[in-house]
């Protein structure tokens, strides 16, 4: 027996509790998640199993997992409208990962860009780090997911999930829906303020001036934007030129948060200096984050309620993932 068909398009995405949530995560991912709440069936997962693929301090992980839940709800992921849960609360993810491991050639994993980047930063590389995309494939495939909204950096992993699904379907018969990555045209890659050649990253958000963190207050936001790396020129224009990456990043943040056209923005800043640009961008960011920060502070103050919401989310997730893992086990020849 296969799992019941579902009518609305199913959406699944995940985020690691690996550091302080940044403006990049918000603009590249969470805004899209919130936008699709009403018309689609949504599952959002805080992927703690993924986070321990690189060393973590247990107390920090515990705190950050609750902080992540509070911030996601504060950003608009209403637990009444979506299933928000913690990955390790649903055992089928780890079980599914094992079975998918056994149909995934190791060469596919060694080619992953994120693995190559992250493994260079580790003294000792865990097997989990190499296996990371297979766990991600299990996350996605367990829910018969149609769409996976992510930033550009995750496209390769979603494509791998498609390859794994196809291989499993070929070996054992139709089991998995083939998921599509959904990448926003704008905001897919918000750059680091201290190094605009690289992406703004949650796990580097502890470095002062690297990121704008969603829980930051106005002073911290002004500080980070004021120190943002730009170029020796004066022109405030959208540009793909590597030397203009810093100014372009600030302009894109402004564009995303105001919704103004590029022409209007360039006209607005024509003849003005970088100091002025930074001041205005900081103002827009502060106003956009103010309500999110206020809601965040009230949710984080009530961990009992947060844990209750997450327990409800886990139960709803298990209602989908448990029958699916049974189907998978049956297909590979296990007694279920």
Q: Catalytic residue numbers?
A: 118, 199, 202
In whole angstroms, what is the distance from residue 190 CA to residue 107 CA? 30
How near is the Cβ of 145 to ligand LTN at its closest, in Å? 8
Contact (CB, 8 A) for 291 and 299: no
**Residues forming beta bridges with residue 14, ordered by sequence position:** 45
Query: Judged by CB, which is closer to ligand LTN: 54, or 257?
Result: 54
How near is the Cβ of 210 to ligand ATP at its closest, in Å? 10
> If you write DSSP's letter for every residue of 234-277 in order, what string do you get?
--------GGGHHHHHHHHHHHHHH---HHHHHHHHTT--HHHH
Q: Is 10 in the site for ligand ATP (CB under 6 A)?
A: no
How near is the Cβ of 7 to ligand ATP at its closest, in Å? 26
Q: Is 12 in the site for ligand LTN (CB under 6 A)?
A: yes
Taking CB under 6 A as the binding criterion, the range among 35-43, 147-155, 220-228, 287-295 that sits at the site for ligand ATP is 147-155
Tokens of 313: 């989310």
Query: Judged by CB, which is closer to ligand LTN: 47, or 212?
Result: 47
Q: Is 195 in the site for ligand ATP (CB under 6 A)?
A: no
**Within 102-215, where are the H helices?**
106-110, 113-120, 127-141, 155-172
What is the CA angle 33-38-42, rounded to 5? 50
In whole angstroms, what is the distance from residue 192 CA to residue 165 CA? 34
Tokens of 336: 């279920």
x/- contact string, 106-145, with ligand ATP (CB under 6 A)? ----------------------------------------
Taking CB under 6 A as the binding criterion, the range among 101-109, 120-128, 186-194, 285-293 that sits at the site for ligand ATP is 186-194
Q: What is the CA radius of gyration of the chain?
A: 21
- Going by DSSP bridges, is the β-strand pair 10-15/41-46 parallel, antiparallel, or unpaired? parallel
Taking CB under 6 A as the binding criterion, the range among 14-22, 32-40, 285-293, 309-317 that sits at the site for ligand LTN is 14-22
Which has the closest alpha carbon to 149: 30, 49, 38?
30
Give per-residue burial for 49-59: e unless 16+ CB within 10 Å, then b.
bbbbbbeeeee
Query: Judged by CB, which is closer to ligand ATP: 50, or 293?
Result: 50
**Binding-site partner at residue 136 among ligand LTN, ligand ATP, none, CB < 5 to 8 Å by type:** ligand LTN
Residues in binding contact with ligand LTN, number by CB under 6 A = 14
Rule CB under 6 A: choose which of 11, 18, 77, 269 binds ligand ATP: 18
Q: Is 69 in the site for ligand ATP (CB under 6 A)?
A: no
**Residues forming beta bridges with residue 85, ordered by sequence position:** 45
Q: Residue 61: phi, psi to the nearest 5?
A: -60, -45
The tokens 């950096």 sit on which residue? 153
Tokens of 309: 């919401």
Q: Is 16 in the site for ligand ATP (CB under 6 A)?
A: yes
Rule CB under 6 A: choose which of 14, 184, 246, 313 binds ligand LTN: 14
* Position with the least CB separation from ligand ATP: 28
Q: Is 20 in the site for ligand ATP (CB under 6 A)?
A: no
Contact (CB, 8 A) for 244 and 191: no
Rule CB under 6 A: choose which of 16, 22, 51, 83 binds ligand LTN: 16
Q: Is residue 111 packed enough to be buried (19+ CB in 10 Å), middle (13-18) or exposed (0-12)?
A: exposed
Q: Is 181 in the site for ligand LTN (CB under 6 A)?
A: no
Binding residues vs ligand ATP (CB under 6 A): 15-16, 18-19, 22, 24-25, 28-29, 150-151, 153-154, 187-190, 199-203
Binding residues vs ligand LTN (CB under 6 A): 12-16, 47, 50, 136, 139-140, 148, 150, 154, 157
């Amino acid at each position: 027996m296969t799992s019941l068909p579902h009518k609305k398009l199913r959406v699944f995405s995940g985020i690691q509790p690996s550091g302080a949530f940044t403006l990049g995560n918000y603009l590249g991912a969470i805004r899209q998640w919130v936008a699709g709440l009403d018309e689609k069936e949504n599952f959002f997962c805080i992927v703690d199993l993924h986070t321990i693929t690189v060393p973590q301090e247990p107390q920090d992980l515990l705190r950050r997992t609750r902080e992540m839940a509070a911030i996601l709800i504060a950003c608009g992921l209403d637990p009444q409208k979506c299933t928000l849960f913690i990955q390790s609360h649903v055992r089928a993810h780890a079980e599914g990962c094992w079975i998918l491991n056994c149909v995934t050639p190791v060469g596919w994993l060694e080619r992953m860009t994120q693995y190559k980047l992250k493994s260079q930063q580790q003294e000792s590389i865990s097997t989990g780090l190499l296996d990371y995309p297979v766990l991600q494939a299990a996350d996605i495939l367990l829910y018969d997911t149609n769409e996976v909204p992510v930033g550009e950096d995750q496209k390769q992993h979603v494509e791998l999930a498609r390859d794994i699904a196809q291989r499993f379907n070929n070996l054992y018969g139709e089991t998995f829906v083939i998921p599509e990555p959904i990448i926003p045209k704008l905001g897919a890659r918000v750059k680091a303020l201290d190094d605009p050649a690289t992406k703004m990253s949650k796990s580097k958000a502890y470095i002062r001036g690297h990121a704008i963190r969603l829980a930051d207050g106005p002073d911290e936001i002004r500080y980070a934007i004021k120190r943002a790396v730009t170029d020796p020129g004066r022109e405030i224009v959208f540009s793909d030129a590597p030397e203009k990456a810093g100014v372009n990043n600030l302009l894109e943040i402004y564009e995303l948060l105001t919704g103004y056209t590029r022409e209007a923005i360039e006209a607005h800043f024509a003849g003005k200096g970088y100091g002025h640009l930074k001041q205005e961008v900081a103002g827009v960011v502060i106003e956009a984050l103010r309500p999110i920060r206020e809601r965040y502070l009230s949710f984080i103050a009530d961990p009992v309620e947060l844990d209750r919401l997450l327990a409800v989310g886990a139960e709803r997730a298990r209602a989908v993932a448990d029958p699916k893992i049974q189907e998978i086990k049956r297909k590979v020849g296990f007694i279920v």
